[in-house]
A and B are shown apart, each in its own frame.
Chain A
Amino acid sequence: MSHQRYPSHEVKEPHSVSLKVLRLSRPSLVAQFPLQPPFSSSSTETTHHHRPPIPASLAYSPISKNKSADDANDADTLAGPSDAKPLSSTFTNPDPFILSPILNLPPSFGSAYVGETFSCTLCANHDIPPPIDGGPPLSRKTIRDVRIEAEMKTPAGALTKLDLLPPDHHDDDDKGKQGKTGVDLDPSVYDSSTLQKVLSFDLREEGNHVLAVTVSYYEATEMSGRTRTFRKLYQFICKGSLVVRTKTQSLSKRGPGVKGKRRWVLEAQLENCSEEAMQLERVGLGLERGWICREDLNGWVDQEGKDKPVVKPGEIEQVCFVIDEEQDGDGDGDGDKVAREEGGDGRVGFGVLQIGWRGEMGNRGFLSTGRLGVRVAA
């Protein structure tokens, strides 16, 4: 995510509050490659036992260094803790398996895809620069009433104000309603040198998005005070994740004068054009009034025990549905209904295709196609 700083015009002095941002994709499971200790460091013959791995080769080690260092010497713990291996504490690590349950924060921004929920955290920090070498100590500043606001500008040009969580809450409730008052930052008080917020935004469009964050605060010195504001822009590109191609064909009996409801088959190809595997969780039709999905020909949808398809990057999954015109209770009027919905070109729209998926670590995605239609045979 590239960002530019827009210094406010009136003040040249560096800001006393810094803003830091981290995209909160899902945290990831840490990989590990457990290794047996070198044989020379164990007194036993190599063929006697399958020894526990070197703790340093695990994603997290079962033993706390301090605790073990008390009685046993370090050598024993590190080389092969044959004695100090409490099963209960090693058990959560499924070594020698490659994945471990310990979670890593997202190391980088990664790619943003249409259909995902973009989430990120904003931290406004009490960050008064230290005095320049040899210079006089800066006068003590107090930072009060810090507020963060965030907006997302989408490629279509829309500007959306984003909700920030958690809502401000203070011990002194009399300060006013949430959102109206900022937060005081004081590094000398535990836990209050940073104001942290989390935002999320559903990505719906491909292209350039700009996250604009405005931080305002009141900077008070012993003598005076002023309100200061700065704004930072974070730009990122949102890519398409899924290409959906659809085709509808009539299944009804042909010919004029054929009575009964009409029936179509809808086929769709879902191509994963992202760089991550996705597991399709739900593919369904959002039908308009007057239509009914007679048959869902995709065995895995809504069925227990069936593996949901995993679509790797570049792969395609094909789905198929049979759609009927809904029959009125008295059995007539179908034609009228269809006719009502027709545009001028003989096309009838029946609804949308909705696709929900999960990415790595359960990251959710959801897409809905544009309105799909059929050509009504004359």
Chain B
Amino acid sequence: MSEPEPSGQKGHARTKSAVKATRPRSSTKGPLDVDDVPLISPSITSPAVSAPLNVPLAPPAARPLSPNLPPPRQPRMAPLSHHGPRSPGPHPRTPGTTSPNFPRSPALSPAPATPGMRRGPSRPKDFAYLLRPEIYHPLTPLNVPPAFRNQSGKISPDTPIPDLVARGLFRAAAIAATQALTGTGDPAVLPQPEPTDHARIFDLLYTRLACLTLIDCASLAAQEVKALGDLNSPFYFEETPSGGAVHIVPWELRVLNIRLTAMGFGDLRRAIMSFYELAREARANLGDAVAQHDNSAKELWKDRLADLGVRVAGALVEMDDLRGAAEHLSGVKGANGDGEGKMAMSRALLFLRLGDVESARGCVVVGGGGGGDNRAKGDCTVAEKVVLALCDMADGEYGVALRRWEELREETDDEMVGVNTAVCLLYLGRMQEGRALLEGLVGEGRASHTLLFNLTTMYELCTERSKGLKVKLSEKVAAIGEHEKTNADFKL
């Protein structure tokens, strides 16, 4: 499985961005076209119309349309805007694929009077700009341990993408998604979606980006997501029969886009702002669902709202504003029944990270069932005991913590409890026991990044020649059928 090489651009990142980071001019395209030829009669058909349209647009045409441009607050708008006249969108690049979009629906003609939001639903939108090969980076298998490489060599080329994802072959899935998007794969297996088939395009794009983040290539994903441009642009909205506007990009992709965009621009505050924008939409939808007594929609939007709240806290953590994150979380209601316990745990972890061990203990002891001192009653939940054990470790009381972890190991077969017990053992000078414990977990079929990292760290402590042990471990994990790991997972 090879990936399409980005066409003819090697080397410097800056040159790259000129091509790749081009904002999708699509958001301005429809109205622009209409403005350009305001008097098109519906009877004029594609050959005649598309020719002038495909000529790079005259800059003046862009002026009256500025309201449709995403608001200029995005810092990335500034450096990119001057490319506008030069790169008037995807059309000129892919003339073949775009022609089906013309002729235009007559519904578009009044567009100048009705800015972006209320675009005619009947006109199919063109997403050809997401099908360009130069957006997508080639992926090298070099950072995958041989044990896993051999395994992925055995994948049959006609394995459908969902199966690849399901089997944890995220690299293969990411490559296949690109092949489908760019039409470089086997057309029988990975047919290129029509430029108007946005459901499939976004599906593939999400698969691609999500898989990239799962194989430690989030920075590539952060580059590639730029092809989407500003998801708040009116271009991405579609009118509903009831007169409202719905976003056509799937929710998951929008959430992922926020994180990746923030990574790409190194601006987490922006992510928080974007999460709030999504939250506003979720709230509105929740209101609608309540009004329509649509219970399943209500639950969905409630969950999404709660999810966003927690993600805002996550962005604050990434900004190192732990206090702020804790404050924020105290006002967020968890989803479902287990929400409250999760919130207590989340806040406790925040305080632990901050070093405020007493506040961390307070999160579980006060929040716990009976009130008062739960520890004495012994009716703590597993999560509460976990927090208390972590607190003991933060206090440097590894012996006390070890007893808690060992108790927990009898109650639950949670991987985390096993890993933390082993860490505790190492701090007590009992690494050999910890190592045996971790190897036992691998034998049970666990293989989280942390488990492998800690185990390979112990291997490094055990011998000058740890490489053999690490390779063996990678073979063992590959044999379990665990999803593909990278060399970094085994410190190879």
Contacts and interface: CB of A to CB of B under 8 A. Distances in A.
A125 B216 CA distance: 33
Interface string A56-73: 111111101111010000
Given A35-B210, A65-B481, A279-B355, A97 B310 contact: yes
A14 B427 CA distance: 29
B462 A193 contact: yes
Interface in B212-253: 213-214, 250-252
Interface string B320-354: 10110000000000010010011101100110111
A69 B346 contact: no
B228 to A, nearest CB: 16
Interface in A73-87: 74-76, 78-79, 87
B393 interface: yes
B212 to A, nearest CB: 11
A97 B445 contact: no
A360 interface: yes
Nearest to A51: B252
Given A38-B206, A92-B383, A312 B415 contact: no
B206 A60 contact: no
A191 B338 CA distance: 41
B77 interface: no
Given A60-B415, A79-B166, A194-B431, A54 B214 contact: yes
A98 B319 CA distance: 12
A37 B165 contact: yes
Contacts of B74: none
B450 A103 contact: yes
A235 interface: no
Contact of A59 (B259, B449, B454, B463): B449
Contacts of A95: 342
A153 interface: no
Contacts of A339: none
Interface residues of A, number: 91
B128 interface: no
B175 interface: no
A18 B448 contact: no
B interface: dominant SS: helix
B352 A29 contact: yes
A93 B395 CA distance: 22
B214 A93 contact: no
Nearest to A357: B355
A107 B447 CA distance: 18
A208 interface: no
Contacts of A61: 415, 446, 448
B453 A104 contact: yes
Which among A54, A102, A193, A196 has the highest number of chain B CB atoms within 10 Å?
Answer: A102
B457 interface: yes
A339 B317 CA distance: 54
A299 B251 CA distance: 46
B323 A29 contact: no
Interface string B104-146: 0000000000000000000000000000000000000000000
B214 A57 contact: yes
Interface stretch (B31-39, B50-58, B295-303): B295-303
B246 to A, nearest CB: 10
Contacts of B85: none
Given A64-B445, A102-B420, A88 B355 contact: no
B322 A277 contact: yes
Interface string B433-457: 1001000000011111111011001
Contact of B480 (A24, A65, A98): A65
A27 interface: yes
A312 B168 CA distance: 40
A29 B355 CA distance: 12
A374 interface: no
A360 B355 contact: yes
A242 to B, nearest CB: 14
B165 A362 contact: no
B354 A360 contact: yes
B430 A89 contact: no
Nearest to B203: A40
B419 interface: yes
B286 interface: no
Given A35-B210, A37-B165, A127-B463, A100 B355 contact: no
B213 A57 contact: yes
B357 A362 contact: yes
A26 interface: yes
A92 B416 contact: yes
Given A35-B256, A194-B462, A98 B314 contact: yes
Contacts of A165: 429
B252 A36 contact: yes
Contacts of A107: 453
A78 B350 contact: no
B446 A65 contact: yes
A100 B423 contact: no
Contact of B448 (A26, A38, A60, A308): A60
A214 B217 CA distance: 43
A44 to B, nearest CB: 11
Given A38-B207, A69-B445, A88 B412 contact: yes
B251 to A, nearest CB: 7
B393 A27 contact: yes
A138 interface: no
B411 to A, nearest CB: 9
Contacts of A67: 444-445
A71 to B, nearest CB: 14
Contact of B300 (A27, A50, A74, A121): A50
B355 to A, nearest CB: 3
B194 interface: no
A38 B391 CA distance: 37
A94 to B, nearest CB: 4
B354 A40 contact: no
A91 interface: yes
B210 A96 contact: no
Contact of A100 (B204, B393, B416): B416
A22 B206 contact: no
B481 A69 contact: yes
Contacts of A308: 356
A57 B210 CA distance: 9
Interface in A127-153: 127, 129-130
A278 interface: yes
Contact of B412 (A50, A89, A191, A360): A89
Nearest to A361: B394
A320 interface: no
Interface string A277-309: 111000000000000000000000000000110
14 contacts: A35-B256, A37-B210, A38-B206, A38-B210, A60-B414, A74-B167, A91-B341, A96-B314, A99-B317, A103-B423, A104-B450, A125-B461, A191-B433, A194-B431
Given A62-B414, A123-B462, A191-B433, 20 more contacts: A22-B460, A27-B423, A46-B251, A49-B296, A54-B165, A54-B214, A60-B446, A60-B448, A65-B446, A69-B481, A75-B166, A91-B383, A92-B386, A100-B349, A102-B416, A121-B426, A125-B461, A278-B355, A310-B323, A361-B352
Interface of B: 161-163, 165-168, 170, 203-204, 206-207, 210-211, 213-214, 250-252, 255-256, 259, 296-297, 299-300, 303-304, 307, 310-311, 313-314, 317-318, 320, 322-323, 335, 338, 341-343, 345-346, 349-350, 352-357, 381-383, 386-387, 390-391, 393-396, 412-417, 419-420, 423, 426-433, 436, 444-451, 453-454, 457-458, 460-465, 480-483
The 6 closest A-B pairs by CB, nearest first: A362-B394, A98-B314, A358-B355, A66-B445, A65-B445, A41-B162
